[in-house]
Structure 1
Amino acid sequence: MTTPAHVNIVIIDTDPGIDDAIAILYALGHDGIDVAAITTVAGNIGLSVTTRNAGRICALAGVDTPVHAGAAAPLGREARPETGIHGNDGLGGVEFPEPTTAPRSHDAVGAIQAILEAHPPQSIDLHCLGPLTNLALLLQRAPAAAARIRRVIAMGGAVDEPGNVGPKAEFNIAHDPHAAAIVLAAGLDFTLIPLDATRQLRADAAYITALHATGHTPAIAAAELIEAYFTATDGAESRPLHDPCVPLLAQNPRHFRIIERGLAVDIESGALIEGPHRIKVAMGLDAPALRAVLLQGLGT
């Protein structure tokens, strides 16, 4: 299989999720991103809902991207969904069409392995928008296939910032700290985007108006999703647009401040701590530039 050099072939691993949906809509519409598959995991809400939502997002975008259902629970603890933020449907009550096709499989790990083995080594990126359960299972089940991943970009963790599900813990890592520990120790080309960066990317009412003004269906859906995010805040800006940072960094690394840090995962708290695993970490970003890029990507 060949793809033009300027196009990144990507598997999106996700638990949609309001901000996941915005990230996926951006990726699906980007000329430089070829989404080979969307794999789902329990996280923001249960697996049946995240899988249905992935199909609904594809239906709204007018694409037939394969969806594969993955892990229904973390590796070492019970699921703790975030329905208070994302709503019972995971998408804040925003209207999306129903999926046009059923999930291609209920074996996300097998699907990821098959895609990696069907392409040359180091030609597939993995964008992780939720807990890292599926990737950890891939590392356990098929380490040779996992070694073929070109790079992993994941939203998760809090390094110097306070957490959002504890003093130092962030939802995606804390939901499945066992999986995160496996992934950090695997030696992959791994870039983490923690709360330190994602909290800097927010939207205001003028941005929502600009999204609506494009008249483009994905942009209008993103505007409605961000409006749903405003219900959870009293300020002039939305909650952080965490997950869109993943495809934004993939295509626009110049707008992020990336450093190397030695990190590990505290299994008990789910927090990131200083440790031996050297990974790339985005510790800041250019919010105005990224808002403009996101608007353009969603609106064209």
Structure 2
Amino acid sequence: MPVIIDTDPGIDDAIAILYALRNPALDVLALTTVAGNIGLDVTTRNAGRIAALAGVRVPVHPGAAAPLGRAARPETGIHGNDGLGGVAFPEPLQPASEEGAIAAMARLLATAPAGSVDLHCLGPLTNLALLLRSAPQAARRIGRVIAMGGAVEVAGNVGPKAEFNIAHDPEAAVEVLAAGLDLTLIPLDATRQLRADAACIAALRRGGAGPATAAADLIEAYFAATSGAESRPLHDPCVPLLACHEALFRIETYALGVDPATGALLPGPDRVRVAMGLEAGALHDHLRAGLEG
């Protein structure tokens, strides 16, 4: 599956990217970066560092440095000032591309057969909204969009009903949901069911592979940002896992909209496929196997 990964790494983004880059079922054409968990310069450098740890040369294209019409609000309390919880990663194997994310997306989509390239969105939807504005014909050539974001029937993580990725740029989310793309949304309802605990960390360390060990270190850094938790949700890895193992997710169709003030998902006019549940045990096995290569 040829894919573009749009990301703001980010601890759980890093685990998702390592899994995707190591998975022979996915052909990662590019990493495009966006400000979200931390500022654009750091997310762009982190994308290159993650690819270096995976031993993969993949182009990294910097995208939007701020949401549409509002200031960025980084989440350094969880991800740390370096975005990766202080976990050591190598330097990028190559510099970030001078071609921006939106231009790169448009080029890759225009030159590939229509519907053959998927887009995995691990962060705010700013870059996709900008692609829809500036190159709508290219955007229509996306095979499917799989995006981590939102909270449907559970509480949010940045407000009573708001989740970080959508709330960071709700205007972008409004435009993306209304665009009529083949969109599958993975909200907190599902991602909170895929949890990492001490047993998960130990299993990753037993694998011995660099990406698996790095994922264990990242999860430990994730725990360091909390107090008293016995497990932490693995939000972003659900995106490439769904791409490869959709049968392990329970998909429902919802009519949704986005509150442009808070980023909360509301009943609305846009029909969206939503992952509301998952088989955590089997997905943990697939995640570990992918990270071990």
Q: Which among 203, 208, 211 is matched to residue 210 of structure 1? A: 203
2:70 corresponds in structure 1 to: 77
Q: Would the aligned equivalents of 2:197 and 2:232 in 1 still touch at CA under 8 Å?
A: no
Residue 66 of structure 1 aligns to which amino acid in structure 2? P
2:51 paired with 1:58: yes
Q: Would the aligned equivalents of 1:67 and 1:105 in 2 still touch at CA under 8 Å?
A: no
Deviations 1:32-57 (CA, angstroms, capped at 9, x unpaired): 00000000000000000000000000
The CA distance in 2 between the partners of 1:163 and 1:232, in whole Å, is 18
1:181-192 matches, cutoff 5 A:
181-192=174-185
Q: Which moved more, 1:44-53 or 1:223-232?
A: 223-232
2:225 paired with 1:227: no
Residue 54 of structure 1 aligns to which amino acid in structure 2? A
The CA distance in 2 between the partners of 1:57 and 1:113, in whole Å, is 24
1:252 corresponds in structure 2 to: 245
2:169 corresponds in structure 1 to: 176
Deviations 1:244-275 (CA, angstroms, capped at 9, x unpaired): 00000000011111000000000011101000
1:62-211 matches, cutoff 5 A:
62-211=55-204
Deviations 1:55-100 (CA, angstroms, capped at 9, x unpaired): 0001111111000000000002110000000000000000000112
Q: Which among 278, 287, 297 is matched to residue 271 of structure 2? A: 278
Q: How much has 1:212 moved relative to structure 2?
A: 0.9
1:267 corresponds in structure 2 to: 260
The CA distance in 1 between the partners of 2:31 and 2:231, in whole Å, is 26
Amino-acid identity (%): 71
1:292 corresponds in structure 2 to: 285
The CA distance in 2 between the partners of 1:237 and 1:289, in whole Å, is 20
TM-score, normalised via structure 2 length:
0.99
The CA distance in 1 between the partners of 2:166 and 2:271, in whole Å, is 17
Q: Which among 9, 12, 17 is matched to residue 16 of structure 1? A: 9
Q: How much has 1:239 moved relative to structure 2?
A: 1.9
Q: Would the aligned equivalents of 2:39 and 2:74 in 1 still touch at CA under 8 Å?
A: yes
Q: Would the aligned equivalents of 1:226 and 1:238 in 2 still touch at CA under 8 Å?
A: no
Q: How much has 1:235 moved relative to structure 2?
A: 4.3
The CA distance in 2 between the partners of 1:40 and 1:183, in whole Å, is 17
TM-score, normalised via structure 1 length:
0.96
Q: How much has 1:233 moved relative to structure 2?
A: 3.1
Count residues with an aligned counterpart: 293
Q: Which runs of 4+ in 1 moved over 6 A?
A: none
2:39 corresponds in structure 1 to: 46
Deviations 1:178-221 (CA, angstroms, capped at 9, x unpaired): 00000000000000000000011111112111111111000000
The CA distance in 2 between the partners of 1:257 and 1:133, in whole Å, is 27
Q: Would the aligned equivalents of 1:229 and 1:238 in 2 still touch at CA under 8 Å?
A: no
Q: Would the aligned equivalents of 1:156 and 1:195 in 2 still touch at CA under 8 Å?
A: yes
The CA distance in 1 between the partners of 2:199 and 2:235, in whole Å, is 19
Q: Would the aligned equivalents of 1:211 and 1:223 in 2 still touch at CA under 8 Å?
A: yes
Q: Would the aligned equivalents of 1:127 and 1:152 in 2 still touch at CA under 8 Å?
A: yes
Q: Which among 25, 29, 33 is matched to residue 32 of structure 1? A: 25
Q: Would the aligned equivalents of 2:256 and 2:268 in 1 still touch at CA under 8 Å?
A: yes
Q: How much has 1:234 moved relative to structure 2?
A: 3.6
Q: How much has 1:155 moved relative to structure 2?
A: 0.1
Residue 155 of structure 1 aligns to which amino acid in structure 2? M
Q: Would the aligned equivalents of 1:57 and 1:96 in 2 still touch at CA under 8 Å?
A: yes
Unaligned runs of 5+ in 1: 1-7
Residue 42 of structure 2 aligns to which amino acid in structure 1? V
